[in-house]
Chain A
Amino acid sequence: MTVLSLVIFLPLAAALGLAAVPRAPRRAVLAAWIGTSAVDLALVAALWIRYGTGGGAGSDGIAYEENARWIPSVGAGYHVGVDGLSMPLLALTALLFLACAVYSVRQEHRLRAFAVLFLFLETVCLGLFAALDLLLFFVFFDLSIVGMYFVILLWGHGERARSALTFFLYTFLGSLVLLLGFIGLYLGADPHTFDMVELIRRPPLDGSPGLAALTLLAIGIGLGVKTPVVPFHTWLPPAHTDAPAAGSAVLAGIMLKMGTYGLVRIAMPMLPDAWRRYAWVPLVIGLLGVLYGALVALAQDDLKRLVAYTSVNHMGYVVLALGAAGFSGGTAARELAVSGAVTQMVSHGLVTGALFLLCGVLSDRAGSYAIGRYGGVARGAPVFAGLTAVAAFASLGLPGLSGFVAEFQIFTGAIGAGRAGVAAAAALSVLGVLVTAGLFLRVLHRVLLGGPGELTGRVTDVRRPELAAIAPLLVLSLAVGVAPRPLLDTIAPLSDAVVALVAR
């Protein structure tokens, strides 16, 4: 067993251990949960440092590879590894789960079960980003749905049963369509295999563009539901609104990335011809997501719903960038677009995770997300106000924070690709930034500044665990914004490789 497998399964082992001790005292549960997540984060950090210094990577840029037989008769194996795409996402996952654990220190309701479920989800998310086998990827993809369903159902608020069911049915349908697409890849490969590395080396369905298009459609819908892209996003607002704060943070911060991660990892390199031919589809859908998400967010009075819709907007940039990468044109520009997409995934995870936890603080104190019922919160809760302001600015793409680095690369890449249509789409999507800026300024204005609202008196400042959970996320966002080099250097070989694979 390699270190990577240890990283993946350590939280699961801790979850099983916690589940086996029914009367564990509260402090012990918390210590086990936070301790496990912290150890896992430290391990991931160590993996990244070693990866960054060139250690452990094979010829194809994959490090810490492990390939064990699982179902050899259908060519599926336990194949995991790390490259420039998965490394940042693994780190993001470990960090955000630790933040959620720290944030939940004051959780009263069924703490042990909550910890067990979150540790289980941590294994699932880490496993997904490390998986190099389609079937293994799918196993984790599906389990993430089941785990999050129970998080929303058992610890949510409002119409949680309904939202949870919508979430389950919708994303489960997406996952099964995705599975059909995977089977399409499997059957198209010669010899039949689910192994991603093999499938990337020899793209399946090379000679049959019709089948390749259908397979891409299935994979696109499956991943699109998860991302979510615009026609398939309707499960997201209720799920986010009714999920507990930590659940929303994980759902938005990590699980939405599974969709776009799959596009970069699976759809683009395995179906390069089809991706190039239909690159306008993600381009248009991404643009739609950017504009629609921003405009609908603008109309929200519920703070959590607003943040949820900005997720649609932010993930729209990612999809748009990946679409732009499928057009012929300047290689450097397209590499920039892919690099921007990956940076945006990381940035969105940090910032939106922080925003949802801040929403949780608000709901914890006053039990409401209604923007109109707050006002002048900054006076009584200055630290909260500061954190919210930084998160909002990061989310709207202020230079010096991570969102800017990502969006700047995406726009530059898409406009620089040398196609009028792509450039027009990118130019239109800049409008999205404008709307997001407007809506976040509105939130800051209405909630933090101005005269006191009816619930303002109940909002006390962030407590120490909350601060300890949220501040590191924003500090990292700032770090990426100021000194993006370490992150970009990790991503660069991957984005070069993806662009080269798509262009073949």
Chain B
Amino acid sequence: MNENPADLAPELCVLIAAVLGLVNGLFLPRARQWWVAGVCAAGLLAGLVVAGLAATRPDLAAFDAFAIDPITHVTRIAVLATTAAVIALAAATVRGHPRETEFYVLTMLSALGAITLGASSDLLVLVAAYLLASIPAYALAGFGKDAPGTEAALKYYLMGAFLGILMLAGATLLYGVGRGTAYGPLRDGLGTAPAAAVGAAVVALLAGLLFKAGAVPGHYWVPDVAEGAPPVVAAFATTVPKIGAFAALLRFGADALPPGTFDWAPLVAVVAAATMTLGNLAAFGQDNVRRLLAYSTVSQAGYLLVPVAMAARGDLAEPALLYYAAAYAVTNLGAFAVVVAVGRDDLDGYTGLLRASPLLGASLAVCLLGLVGTPPTAVFVGKVLMFGAALDGHYAWLAVLAAVNSVASVFYYLRWIVPTFGKPRPGLRPARAPTAIAVALAAASLALGLASGIALSL
């Protein structure tokens, strides 16, 4: 058994940075708490470097519960990079806040939970990772201490707690019928288990993971958190934990279930279909950009579930999911960064953005058209792979439904893009630092699409 802690170096970097940041924050005067952001960013960057190095080494499993394979590599890199962007975005907006340190540290811990979620190959670790990813995020949702934030946090927490219990019950049941919690033994043990029990357990386990992924039926928190929590938190909660959740779903679908006992694909395919359709339908009428983005993330979760459903049905599922998740994270974060930069939540607030700040307006257009799946952005390549995975798994109806939904989504994204061409309203002055981050993320989304060959060959 491999018990070398050095294999967990990226996670340790995040953890150490979080602890150091917390300790430092206790003693630093309020005006100098930005130092903590520096510590966290350094930890994330160090983690990125180590994760990049680890990605070149052969697959292995640490402590029998933590797989270190391509899924984990991509999860690590995507989570670390997007968290770094969130920290940078936060540094510009929560500077001087009485609880500045707490913000950074909670973000780091939740990100750590997201990585662990994607890497765990054992139900117990999975549940622990779920809690680690969730609990700091509940606190973050209520960070503003205002009425909408409190409501968002409460909703987020209640749903998370309820579905978390279900998930724990599912894990228990699987342990009972499969005589193991690690995916390897579980796969062997479930071969002879009663199908009904396995089915019930998988559904219960899915509840928690779908909650983290923001997919139907666990999606109710998404619009409230996106609208009620501070924008940076909204950006974080709708992006980073999802990467981990989808990686966990993919791993569970591919590794833990033996072929023949339980039909994973139809169940997840139906959930995917419902998620993308409901998310799109709900997004149509939104006039608040954060709610609009929230429902857009729900529909994106639907597309992301397509390769999850195809986890055991073809070679395209894994690259499709990983690539799409990373592309989605960058693009979605870019759109939220524009919201942070402009500081307005209503669609009218974006009138004339392209003239007032051409770079920021162009970034918004790139990110939103990217979410539609317009080439040559990263999400386009993700979508191509996703369609490929669906057709490869003989789920043509799902691919067609995803295509129809993509077209429908054009409508509400355009509702946001079109006003940016108008005459700027007075007082439209986007903040500098978030603008830079939004532009960087939009550029990254383009670059990731154009250079997808390099990214996919890893």
Residues of chain B lying within 8 A (CB to CB) of residue A186: 388
Contact A73 B374 (CB under 8 A): no
Residues of chain B lying within 8 A (CB to CB) of residue A369: none
Contact B403 A142 (CB under 8 A): no
- A423 interfacial by beta-carbon distance below 8 Å: no
Can you list 20 residue pairs at the A/B interface with Cβ under 8 Å? A70-B452, A70-B453, A71-B453, A73-B456, A73-B457, A142-B375, A143-B374, A143-B376, A168-B410, A172-B406, A172-B407, A172-B410, A176-B404, A177-B400, A179-B403, A180-B399, A180-B400, A183-B387, A187-B388, A214-B396
Tell whether A168 pairs with B414 under 8 Å between CB atoms, given A70-B453, A139-B376, A143-B374.
Answer: yes
Contact B381 A22 (CB under 8 A): no
- A153 interfacial by beta-carbon distance below 8 Å: yes
Contact B403 A177 (CB under 8 A): yes
- Which residues of B (437-453) have their CB < 8 Å from a CB of A? 452-453
The complex places the Cα of A138 from the Cα of B373 at a distance, in Å, of 12
- B287 interfacial by beta-carbon distance below 8 Å: no
- Which residues of A (161-200) have their CB < 8 Å from a CB of B? 161, 165, 168-169, 172-173, 176-177, 179-180, 183-184, 186-187
Contact B374 A69 (CB under 8 A): no
Residues of chain A lying within 8 A (CB to CB) of residue B358: 22
- B384 interfacial by beta-carbon distance below 8 Å: yes
Tell whether A179 pairs with B387 under 8 Å between CB atoms, given A172-B407, A173-B403.
Answer: yes
Q: Which partner residue on chain A sits nearest B319 by CB separation? A: A73
Q: Which residue of A135, A139, A154, A176 is within 8 Å of B421 (Cβ)?
A: A154
Chain B, interface size category, equals: 20 to 34
Contact B374 A146 (CB under 8 A): yes
Q: Which partner residue on chain B sits nearest A214 by CB separation? A: B396
Residues of chain B lying within 8 A (CB to CB) of residue A424: none
- Shortest CB distance A262–B (Å): 16
Contact A176 B407 (CB under 8 A): yes
The complex places the Cα of A40 from the Cα of B296 at a distance, in Å, of 41
- A72 interfacial by beta-carbon distance below 8 Å: yes
The complex places the Cα of A71 from the Cα of B376 at a distance, in Å, of 12
The complex places the Cα of A308 from the Cα of B411 at a distance, in Å, of 25
A64-75: CB near B (< 8 Å → 1, else 0) gives: 000001111110
B398-441: CB near A (< 8 Å → 1, else 0) gives: 01100110110011001000100100000000000000000000
Tell whether A179 pairs with B369 under 8 Å between CB atoms, given A22-B358, A71-B456.
Answer: no
Tell whether A165 pairs with B414 under 8 Å between CB atoms, given A73-B453, A139-B375, A142-B374.
Answer: yes
Contact B457 A72 (CB under 8 A): yes
Q: Which residue of A69, A161, A172 is within 8 Å of B453 (Cβ)?
A: A69
The complex places the Cα of A74 from the Cα of B453 at a distance, in Å, of 9
Residues of chain A lying within 8 A (CB to CB) of residue B380: 139, 142
- Shortest CB distance A60–B (Å): 25
The complex places the Cα of A63 from the Cα of B400 at a distance, in Å, of 37
Specify the main secondary structure of chain B where it touches its partner: helix
The complex places the Cα of A179 from the Cα of B400 at a distance, in Å, of 10
The complex places the Cα of A138 from the Cα of B375 at a distance, in Å, of 8
- B154 interfacial by beta-carbon distance below 8 Å: no
Q: Which partner residue on chain A sits nearest B452 by CB separation? A: A71
The complex places the Cα of A150 from the Cα of B417 at a distance, in Å, of 10
B residues with a Cβ closer than 8 A to A are 319, 358, 369, 372-376, 380-381, 384-385, 387-388, 391-392, 396, 399-400, 403-404, 406-407, 410-411, 414, 418, 421, 452-453, 456-457
Residues of chain B lying within 8 A (CB to CB) of residue A69: 453
Residues of chain B lying within 8 A (CB to CB) of residue A161: 418
Q: Which partner residue on chain A sits nearest B389 by CB separation? A: A183
Residues of chain A lying within 8 A (CB to CB) of residue B392: 187
The complex places the Cα of A184 from the Cα of B392 at a distance, in Å, of 8
Top 10 A-B pairs ranked by shortest CB distance? A176-B403, A139-B375, A71-B453, A173-B407, A73-B456, A183-B388, A71-B452, A70-B453, A142-B375, A183-B387
Residues of chain A lying within 8 A (CB to CB) of residue B456: 71, 73-74
The complex places the Cα of A305 from the Cα of B311 at a distance, in Å, of 50
Contact B384 A180 (CB under 8 A): no
Contact B453 A180 (CB under 8 A): no
- Shortest CB distance B303–A (Å): 12
Given contacts A146-B369, A183-B399, A187-B392, 10 further A-B contacts (CB under 8 A): A22-B358, A69-B453, A71-B381, A146-B374, A153-B421, A172-B410, A173-B404, A176-B373, A180-B400, A183-B388
Tell whether A184 pairs with B391 under 8 Å between CB atoms, given A73-B319, A142-B374, A154-B421.
Answer: yes
Contact A72 B375 (CB under 8 A): no
Contact A176 B388 (CB under 8 A): no
Contact B453 A165 (CB under 8 A): no
The complex places the Cα of A364 from the Cα of B96 at a distance, in Å, of 58
The complex places the Cα of A176 from the Cα of B358 at a distance, in Å, of 30
Contact B391 A180 (CB under 8 A): yes
- Shortest CB distance B174–A (Å): 34
Contact A153 B457 (CB under 8 A): no
- Shortest CB distance A450–B (Å): 42
- Shortest CB distance B171–A (Å): 35
The complex places the Cα of A73 from the Cα of B392 at a distance, in Å, of 16
Residues of chain A lying within 8 A (CB to CB) of residue B410: 168-169, 172
The complex places the Cα of A150 from the Cα of B362 at a distance, in Å, of 13
Residues of chain B lying within 8 A (CB to CB) of residue A146: 369, 374
A142-165: CB near B (< 8 Å → 1, else 0) gives: 110010001001100000010001
Contact B407 A169 (CB under 8 A): yes
- Shortest CB distance B409–A (Å): 10
The complex places the Cα of A72 from the Cα of B457 at a distance, in Å, of 8
Q: Which partner residue on chain A sits nearest B385 by CB separation? A: A74
Contact B453 A72 (CB under 8 A): yes
Question: Which of A72, A135, A146, A183 has the most chain B CB atoms closer than 10 A to its own CB?
Answer: A183
